Amino acid sequence: MLQSTEVFPEKPARLATPTVHVRAPEPTVASLRAAPCIVAENLSAFFGEVAAVRNVSLAIPQQAVTAIIGPSGCGKSTLLRCFNRMHETVPRARVEGSVQILGSSIYGEGTSPIAVRRHVGMVFQRPTPFPTMSIRHNVGAGLRVVGKKLESRGATDEIVEEALHRAALWDEVKDRLDESAMALSGGQQQRLCIARALATRPRVILLDEPTASLDPLSTQKVEELVYHLREAVTVVIVTHNMQQAARISDRTAFLLAGELIEFASTTDLFTAPRDQRTESYITGRFG
């Protein structure tokens, strides 16, 4: 169970045995990565009595990019927000079913939403830098939000630099760290928000239409960043742009009216969809 001080397990716990047997081999890196990162079972999300997501079951792989596509209002963003317990921050919103992340139930009794968000970062559609803070303090703000205490300014600066490197922004801002974040371009601001999410060293990053308000060049930079983030974290991205999903994702989920219609490798879903509704959507017949 995920408590506020708990971290996600690096490997599955070994069950105790009552007698001595031949010791089972330690799990390999390959086998650990083969285990899914996010497992949702019969997940439904409600706003009052209205179900925005209905009985979704899927297993999202580790260290991969998973895209969620579908027409407006189909429940994409709601599903995404269920993965870090943001959905329940809306009045009268509730969730049924279960979500496990790396084997921990995020909706289990006694599980802290803050602890969940410590390991599951989120970036929204429009860049949201804190306007009164510098670039440095914007990235460091993520540490304060999750209650992470560091012993020195140097430790904070080290994490800030690491996060900016991982967000492919360090070379552009290393001499401007004490300037206002609002002086950055829109694309830089969005990468700054990604750096802020990465500063807590999460296991999962959720991206909700992260390039919707960006120009083509900035969109390309964010896409390149997302593509490379899979080397260290699991990425789930909601997008209306099917070409974007095809470019950067390993697997794609298609939602329609709150239901999961199809979930497959991106190549298979776009070239050989199993459901007629998927084919109709990706060929532009609706949506």
| Each residue's pLDDT tens digit, 24-44 | 444 444 444 568 999 999 999
DSSP state of 88: G
Res 72 pLDDT > 80:
yes
DSSP state of 179: S
Residue with tokens 């560091």: 150
pLDDT, average across residues 90-100: 95
Res 19 pLDDT > 70:
no
* Percent residues over pLDDT 70 in the chain: 84
| All structural domains of the chain | 32-282 (3.40.50.300)
Q: Give residue 20's pLDDT.
A: 35
Cα–Cα nearest to 77, from 207, 250, 204: 207
Q: What is the pTM of this model?
A: 0.85
CA separation for the pair 233, 236 (Å, rounded): 10
Q: Give residue 115's pLDDT.
A: 86
The residues near 58 (Cβ < 8 Å, ≥ 6 apart) are: 38, 39, 40, 253, 260, 263
Count of Cβ atoms closer than 10 Å to residue 55 Cβ: 15
Q: What is the pLDDT of residues 256-277, one digit of tens each?
A: 999 999 999 999 999 999 999 9
